[in-house]
Amino acid sequence: MLKSLKRFYCDFLKMPQVVESFKFPKRVYAPRLVPSKEDLQRFFDALDSDRDRAIFLMYATSGLRKSELLGLSLDDIDLENRLIIPKNAHTTGTTKNTWATCFNVEAQTYLRQYLASRKTDDKRLFSISETTLRRIFRGTRKRTGLGIRPQVLREWFCCQLGELGVPDRYVDALCGRVPKSVLARHYTDYSPNRLKTIYDKANLRVLT
């Protein structure tokens, strides 16, 4: 609120003297800590079903946000090519929409097993609610003592791709973030085929 007032008086009313006494504490940077691959493997082993394992691996290897994965339909998935292209990607004007991302062969394996066994006509990829999703992760956290959530898996995904040599602008694209630099915005190929080539070259793995 104070920052908004300062901007209002300085830039709009041209009365900086009114807010010149405003002081703001320096924000201390807190390094992001992500679980190890061994932690993810232990969490994965404690899951109860192919559905839950598929959900876990899709979060860990696609970079999707919690709501984005739950909002996917079967038509948004190219299972053979391991591509995700949401039909409504970037139609709302928001900067937080995935337009194309991938998932690895481990997620593909468990996704196939889950889809082959499920008995529903629901067109959603995972026909569960956010409440059920929270219950899955909460129960597994209690059994393992590991603080892993969908957002933590998204952070792990970003860190792993960086360690595997994927440039930041492609990590941003796979995570549905708007590129920041001129090079990234205007002179980079973000086609699904290009993203998949870069993704496959990184050879992201969770279970091995």
Mean per-residue pLDDT of the chain: 90
Q: Are 56 and 44 in contact (CB under 8 A)?
A: yes
Rounded to whole angstroms, how far apart are CA atoms 150 and 66?
Answer: 6
Which residues, in sequence order, are CB contacts of 138 under 8 Å at separation 6+?
none
| Model pLDDT, residue 200 | 98
| Model pLDDT, residue 32 | 74
**pTM of this prediction?**
0.81
Predicted confidence band at 88 (pLDDT cuts at 50, 70, 90)? low
| Model pLDDT, residue 10 | 87
Q: Are 109 and 82 in contact (CB under 8 A)?
A: no
pLDDT cut 70: percent of the chain above it:
89
| Model pLDDT, residue 87 | 77
| Model pLDDT, residue 94 | 46
| Model pLDDT, residue 106 | 98
Taken in order of first residue, the domains within the chain and their CATH numbers are: 36-202 (1.10.443.10)
Q: Is the pLDDT of residue 63 over 90?
A: yes
| Model pLDDT, residue 98 | 67
Higher local confidence (pLDDT), 24 or 191 = 191
**What DSSP element (H or E) covers 77?**
strand 77-78
Q: What is the DSSP letter of 74?
A: G
| Model pLDDT, residue 29 | 64
Nearest to 169 by CA among 150, 195, 197: 195
Stretch 84-98: mean pLDDT? 62
Q: Is 74 exposed, middle or buried (0-12, 13-18, 19+ CB in 10 A)?
A: exposed
Stretch 132-146: mean pLDDT? 97
Q: Is the pLDDT of residue 171 over 80?
A: yes
Range among 11-25, 77-91, 100-114 rated most confident:
100-114
pLDDT digits (tens, 9 = 90+) for 11-35: 888 888 888 888 877 777 667 789 9
Q: Is the pLDDT of residue 114 over 90?
A: yes
| Model pLDDT, residue 93 | 44
Q: Is the pLDDT of residue 97 over 80?
A: no
Three-state DSSP class for residue 177: strand
| Model pLDDT, residue 90 | 46
pLDDT cut 90: percent of the chain above it:
69
